[in-house]
Amino acid sequence: MKFAVAATTVALVASSVSANPLLNLHGGLTSKLGGVSTPLCKQQYLGAVGRPWEVNSKPGFTCGKLALPTLPMWDGGDKALCGLPLLAWTPFCRSGNAPAPLPTTGCKPPTTNNPHPYPDPTPECPNPKPNPPPVNPGGPVCQSDYQVTYTNFTTVADSGAYKGKVVGAATIDNDNYLTYALADSADACLKACSQMSACHFVNTYYDEEVATDYAPKRGGQMTCAFFRSCASTLKNTNWGGQGNDRPLNTIKNSNGYCLSPACQS
């Protein structure tokens, strides 16, 4: 009897997978195991090889309408599996990711009525660009369900080829890293995070190589890195020019987005 129940369950799951069109989108069929497709959310780092701040890493997929011949397109992540009977009841499938607290250190996030929210701006806490007329004066700057925690972040490099210079800097957070991708817009990155279980923070930026003929990973496209918790700007320590075994790269237009309760609709 136990074997019959198990066989029925396996057949039911297999039927749900084949009936779920999201799993058959271009990019969802990223690898084959015994003839069964493996969704990105079931692969290590969601298909990425390593982390974006590591030499010889590779993005896991593309977001939005960006299509590259060497990468699969985003397949809907964990949300695409919510049609399976065994997963539909899970908290993520029912309610999505719960909002996360803002970091308590680093730069203060911008507000809608003040384009210069920092009481004592420093290179580590740059002023964001002026915001449009406030909808909610004094409130958070929101993009979708995410609170903008910083824009165009820069710092003074304390090591590497750019030591002592003001540079753009992206997040390094090994403990909370999920994956990274290439995208055509920040909105596409945020949508992917909302479809990814345990994702609460997105860092978008451009990782540009000084050598124009060296672009095996990014090629000038927007990078989006995904994390389990909202990172402080104290973790923005990826400013490029820190490795001796690759051409110099620079980080530009680094922005942070936290799935904050202040921006929940």
DSSP 85-151: TTTTTSHHHHH-SPP-PPPSSSSPPPBTTBS---SS-BTTBPPPPPPPSPSSTTSB-EETTEEEEES
- Report the distance separating Cα 125 and Cα 118, nearest Å: 8
Q: What is the pLDDT of residue 134?
A: 47
Q: Report the pLDDT averaged over residues 232-246.
A: 82
In the predicted structure, residue 114 carries a pLDDT above the cut 60: no
Secondary structure (DSSP) of 187-232: HHHHHHHHTSTT--EEEEEEEEESSTT--SS-TTPEEEEEESSPPP
Choose between 156 and 139: higher pLDDT: 156
Nearest to 80 by CA among 183, 195, 188: 195
Name which residue leads in pLDDT, 250 or 2: 250
> What's the chain's length in residues?
265
Count of H-run helices and E-run strands, the chain: 3, 11
For the segment 10-60, what is each residue's pLDDT rounded down to a tens digit? 343 344 333 333 333 333 333 333 334 689 999 999 999 999 998 888 999
Q: How far apart are CA 15 and CA 107, in angstroms?
A: 49
What confidence tier does 111 reach under pLDDT thresholds 50, 70, 90? confident
- Domain layout of the chain by residue ranges: 2-95, 142-263
Q: Give the pLDDT of residue 46.
A: 97
Report pTM: 0.79
Distances (CA, A) of 14 to 2, 10, 17, 38, 195: 18, 6, 5, 12, 21
